[in-house]
Structure 1
Amino acid sequence: MQRKTFTRALLGGAIAALALGAQAQAYPTKPVQLIVPFPPGGSVDYVARTLSQKLSEHLGQSVVILNRGGASGTIGTYEAARAAPDGYTLLLVFDSHAVNASLYDVKYDTFTSFDYVSLIGTMPMALVTSKKSGLASPQALLAAARAEPDRINYGSSGVGGSNHLQPVALARQAGVRLTHVPYRGGGPMITALLGGEVDMVISSLPTVIQYARTGQANVVAIGTKERVPQLPDLPTLDSVVPGYVAQSWVGMMVPRGVPAPVFEHIQTALRKTLADPTVKTKMENDGFQIVNSSPVEFEERVRNESKRWAGIIKAENIKVE
């Protein structure tokens, strides 16, 4: 009896393995969803739309972008976390993914709810002021903030996002006080900046570089240690506030438990997409530095940033209202 039971278990396992292998070999047989947990117009949406065509070609099926904005990306991230782990739901995350658990009562775990595919790349952040503000340099902005604490306001894509926390870090290091005005995503934040509703934002270079080229806003400084080739005359924030660096990132994840062959297919398709000359040239020209990391490297970065920002959030008593 024990031998029969053991044989049946082995047979059952073999059948399951064969079925899994067949499923993975056939993948994908239908369109793949790419969840962007922010409204159209922001950095993550930019990455999704830049990658989607070539990613579709390398996956072998069309990639459908779904914008699911709200609560600094937590709503769309939760939708991805509870999706079937079959490879038909992909998720792009912003750097806010590393801090959301410190601010929101999220219904997923930052790490155990997902398999980390790759850190796609990083973006230097830029300090941008509205034309209506009359602040055309970082020195002028900081001088105004020192003269009238809390008068200078800045927009963000939501509480806890890099557009929120980077100005907090800047204010701490520069010894000034700024007023936070949150919006529901990067697109509405930029609209508010261009309309003069807010004086400044700190946003990723790919999102704002067009405004430097068209003159719709004042891109006054870059958050890297060195000047960037896309805007070589732009001074660094480090030259005004020593030691200050502002950088954002975008990465890809999938719901935890995607079969290994399917996961590898997704990973390979993403690597080929990021290496494609058309994609690479466009993203780099817009200020994006492609990283294309391993899953371990990506997860480790998120863990390190989670610890850093959790400390600042606690020190500044930042809460979601």
Structure 2
Amino acid sequence: MKSLKRLFAGSIAALALGSGLALAQSYPSKPVRLVVPFPPGGAVDLIARLIQPKMSESLGQPFLIENRPGAAGNVGVESVARGAPDGHTLVINTNGQAISPAIFKKLSWDATDFTPVSQLVASNLILISSPKLQAATVAEFIAIAKAKPGVLNYGGTGVGNPLHLTMELLKLTAGIDIVAVHYQGDAPLFTAMMSGQVEAAVVPLSTALPLVKSGKIRALAMPGARRVSVLPDVPTIAETLPGFESSSWQGLFVPSRTPRDAVDALYRGVVKALAARE
């Protein structure tokens, strides 16, 4: 009897091991859907398109980018939370992935619905203003805002995302009253700023840098802890408001219950994609 039990246990273990090996060898077995919960052209979309070809090359299947913007990224995130936990549906998101469950009362998902694969980048943000606004420094911007409470506005790309919360932190720290105007992505926000419809905004450095260097928008300060090498003359907000600091990151997530072998394969693909020098 004991020998039969041992035989049965051994058979179950062999089957489990065999299924795990089969998954590791066959994953991915079809094209992988990579959801970007923001419009094309933004910082998250840019990172997705940078890693996409290397991920496809590494894992041997196409990675298909699907932009699903809306509700500060929550629309796209929800679609992945409901996806099959087989490693063929992913989402790339900012630290809004961790923030949203804390500030939105009615979400159909929470942090436990996802397994993290990897952080992709630590993102620098930048405080910018329209060239039409007579403010070249944070101090000048604060002075104008205090002289005209409730008159100036700032652009955003979603309620509750890191960019919006950084501007709200600046309002609170500086004691100013400026009005939020939200846009469907970085591109329309930049267009509005260049025309003078929007006076200020906190945006990803990666998307703002070409416009800053061309003089189409003005760099006021960096919300992060230190200056950045690509704009060494732009001070931090903390140089005017000591202690101020805000930053962001982007990461890759899969639905919870995705097999560990698939998560590990994706992680290895990310490592290769980020290590590529092209």
Q: TM-score, normalised by structure 2?
A: 0.92
CA offset at residue 55 of structure 1?
1.9
Alignment deviations for residues 96-127 of structure 1 (CA, whole Å, 9 cap, x no partner) = 222211333111112x1111111212122111
2: CA distance between counterparts of 1:17 and 1:114?
25
Residue pair 1:129, 1:193 contacting (<8 A) in 2 also? yes
**Alignment-mate amino acid for residue 36 of structure 1:** V
Report the secondary structure of 1:132's partner residue.
coil
**Corresponding residue for residue 138 of structure 2:** 138
Residue pair 1:128, 1:201 contacting (<8 A) in 2 also? yes
2: CA distance between counterparts of 1:268 and 1:88?
15
CA offset at residue 213 of structure 1?
1.3
**Corresponding residue for residue 57 of structure 1:** 57
CA offset at residue 224 of structure 1?
2.5
Report the secondary structure of 1:166's partner residue.
helix
- Pairing of 1:98-109 with structure 2 (within 5 A): 98-104=98-104, 105-109=106-110
2: CA distance between counterparts of 1:124 and 1:49?
18
RMSD: 2.1
**Corresponding residue for residue 18 of structure 1:** 18
**Corresponding residue for residue 317 of structure 1:** none
2: CA distance between counterparts of 1:153 and 1:168?
12
**Alignment-mate amino acid for residue 35 of structure 1:** V
Residue pair 2:137, 2:220 contacting (<8 A) in 1 also? yes
CA offset at residue 215 of structure 1?
1.2
- In structure 1, stretches of 5+ residues that fail to align are 279-321
Report the secondary structure of 1:61's partner residue.
coil
2: CA distance between counterparts of 1:248 and 1:223?
10
Identity %: 36
Alignment deviations for residues 38-78 of structure 1 (CA, whole Å, 9 cap, x no partner) = 11122111111121112222222221111010001111001
Q: CA distance change for structure 1 residues 234 and 92 in 2, over 3 Å: closer, same or farther?
A: same
Report the secondary structure of 2:69's partner residue.
coil
2: CA distance between counterparts of 1:224 and 1:6?
60
2: CA distance between counterparts of 1:195 and 1:96?
29
1: CA distance between counterparts of 2:65 and 2:120?
17
2: CA distance between counterparts of 1:78 and 1:183?
21
2: CA distance between counterparts of 1:276 and 1:11?
43
1: CA distance between counterparts of 2:60 and 2:272?
12
Alignment deviations for residues 256-302 of structure 1 (CA, whole Å, 9 cap, x no partner) = 11212221110011011111122xxxxxxxxxxxxxxxxxxxxxxxx
Report the secondary structure of 1:101's partner residue.
helix
1: CA distance between counterparts of 2:137 and 2:82?
45
Report the secondary structure of 1:119's partner residue.
strand
**Corresponding residue for residue 163 of structure 2:** 163
- Pairing of 1:295-310 with structure 2 (within 5 A): none
Residue pair 2:20, 2:261 contacting (<8 A) in 1 also? no
Report the secondary structure of 1:131's partner residue.
coil
- Pairing of 1:263-278 with structure 2 (within 5 A): 263-278=263-278
2: CA distance between counterparts of 1:48 and 1:195?
29
Residue pair 2:155, 2:181 contacting (<8 A) in 1 also? yes
Counting matched residue pairs gives 277
- Pairing of 1:1-321 with structure 2 (within 5 A): 11=11, 14-104=14-104, 105-110=106-111, 112-278=112-278
Of 114-123 and 186-195, more deviation after overlay is shown by 186-195
CA offset at residue 25 of structure 1?
0.9
2: CA distance between counterparts of 1:189 and 1:59?
36
2: CA distance between counterparts of 1:196 and 1:102?
34
- In structure 2, stretches of 5+ residues that fail to align are none
